[in-house]
Amino acid sequence: MSGPADTPPAAGTVDEAEAARHRAKMEKRKAVQDREVAEKTMEKGLLIVHTGPGKGKSTAAFGLALRMLGRGGRVGVVQFIKGAWQTGEQEAFRAFGDRVSWHTMGEGFTWETQDLVRDKAAAARAFAKACDLMADESIDLLVLDELNIALRYDYLDLAEVVAVLQARRPGLHVVVTGRNAKPELLAAADLVTEMGLVKHHFSAGVKAQAGIEF
Amino acid sequence: MSGPADTPPAAGTVDEAEAARHRAKMEKRKAVQDREVAEKTMEKGLLIVHTGPGKGKSTAAFGLALRMLGRGGRVGVVQFIKGAWQTGEQEAFRAFGDRVSWHTMGEGFTWETQDLVRDKAAAARAFAKACDLMADESIDLLVLDELNIALRYDYLDLAEVVAVLQARRPGLHVVVTGRNAKPELLAAADLVTEMGLVKHHFSAGVKAQAGIEF
């Protein structure tokens, strides 16, 4: 015969001591969290950079665009490198009508065109379009997709690009994507995320699929 | 007096030797690219994990959902941790009507509720909903947002969750987000991206802003 004190808790249940420990730990965590939130008071348009060899750089930028649309904002997109990619997002953004201003300006992946003069001219046109959108006060968030690639191949003048981004309207959020972001751009950024490649299905022979890669 | 051979190229122009070097380099790059694409022939529903301390884990998952919607697919979302977050995306997804099946099941951040029994029950309900959506053949991509947090706090049985995910329909893509993904989940995944925190505006006193953080 055993009293209630000897009965082990059934699987999936929680004993009181465990619950109390959890509560104490989470109260401490909440205090830290609340203090951290209280310390942050500034609002500003952010310069955000998504870089690194992993997936999700452009995808997260378009996810941010989606969030801004959900908040009633307007979004601009300039694609510096045109490819077979992002056609899914472009199609989906049609649901938001003229709240998305989408511009595919690049000339395809540079290894497709193999024409440096044409690539430089296309990058210059794309950056001019980016400048137009930065001046458009109805735009809340601007995605400069694969701008890092154009900078990496010196299609654009790095110092000029960074200066223009730094001189943007105070409220404008800008997201720059692409591998190998330049240190000068990272120095100017407010938020930098490095997407790291831990494991990729291409290595297992899986091909690019609609709705996932494009 | 200097002949044409001595004239340096004007700024922004490209000399022929440079153009030729670029072309040769990019031809080589294209050959590698084409070979790599040709080697990938398999199609399968992917188990994708977005983890790491940086931003963009959920954002990239919702970006993938957007891409799938752009391709005409249907998307399911189960949020394992409810917070003030992702309300922007949820609002934006209304544009796609019943092509998005959205379920916020969690009980808030665990440090808000401080109630282990309630958190475990909420996680179990969320996972049951995830199982329903996995069985729904009209769903092409399922986002299990912050499932990693529920696993990290042992709200759910890890082995059971991994087994259920591995036994999913062959065509179903599943995206799991949240910090501190368990090694057993990473082992089962096809694609893992680690979002690394390089620089964060919260450290500079900037607060969470609509359209960016929520």
Does residue A10 surpass a pLDDT of 60?
no
| pLDDT single digits (tens) A19-39 | 888 888 878 888 887 887 777
Which residues on chain B are in Cβ contact (under 8 Å) with A114?
Answer: 22-23, 26-27, 30
Q: In the predicted model, what is the mean pLDDT of residues B56-65?
A: 96
Pairing of strands B141-145, B75-79: parallel
Contact A26 B111 (CB under 8 A): yes
Question: Tell me: the pLDDT tens digits for B138-166?
Answer: 999 999 999 999 999 899 999 999 999 99
Contact B92 A73 (CB under 8 A): no
Show residues of chain B in contact with A89, CB under 8 Å. Answer: 63, 66-67, 70
Write down the CATH superfamily of domain A47-196: P-loop containing nucleotide triphosphate hydrolases (3.40.50.300)
Judge whether residue A177 has pLDDT over 90.
yes
Query: Measured between alpha carbons, how far is B191 from B49 in angstroms, rounded to an integer?
Result: 6
Q: Give the one of A40, A186, A192 whose C-beta lies nearest to B205's C-beta.
A: A40
**What is the least distance, in Å, from the CA of A190 to any CA of chain B?**
5
pLDDT interval class at B39 (50, 70, 90): confident
Per-residue model confidence as pLDDT tens digits over B67-95: 999 999 999 999 998 765 667 888 999 99
pLDDT at residue B130 tops 70? yes
From CA A58, how far away is CA A63, in angstroms rounded? 8
Cβ-based contacts of B208 with chain A (< 8 Å): 37, 40
The model's pLDDT over B160-192, given as tens digits with 9 standing for 90+, comes to: 999 999 999 999 999 999 999 999 999 999 999
Mutate to test the interface with B, among A155, A185, A193 (most CBs of B within 10 A): A193
Rounded to a whole number of angstroms, the distance between the first and last alpha carbons of chain B is 65
Half-sphere exposure (Cβ direction) of A119: Cα atoms closer than 13 Å: 25
Residue A173 binned pLDDT confidence (cut-offs 50, 70, 90): very high
Q: So what's the pLDDT on residue B113?
A: 64
Nearest CA in chain B to A85: B67
Examine the pLDDT at A8 and tell me if it is beyond 60. no
Distance from the Cα of B99 to chain A's closest Cα (Å) equals: 12
Exposed, middle or buried, B44 (CB in 10 Å: 0-12/13-18/19+)? middle
Determine how β-strand B191-199 pairs with β-strand A191-199: antiparallel
State mean pLDDT over B8-20: 67
For range A172-182, the mean pLDDT: 97
Q: Locate the domains of chain B by residue range.
A: 47-204
- Alpha carbon distances (Å) from A133 to A84, A142, B107, B129: 24, 8, 40, 42
As a whole number of angstroms, the distance between CA A12 and CA A78 comes to 51
Candidate from B67, B209, B211 with C-beta closest to A88? B67
What tokens appear for A165 in the block? Answer: 């981004």
What is the average pLDDT value for chain A, to the nearest integer?
87
- Which has the closest alpha carbon to A68: B204, B66, B114? B66
Residues of A in contact with B197 (CB under 8 A): 193
| B47-204: CATH topology | Rossmann fold (3.40.50)
How high is the pLDDT of residue B3?
Answer: 41
Residues A47-84 pLDDT 10s: 999 999 999 999 999 999 999 999 999 999 999 987 65
- Chain A interface, best mutation among B180, B191, B207, B213, by max A CB count within 10 A: B191
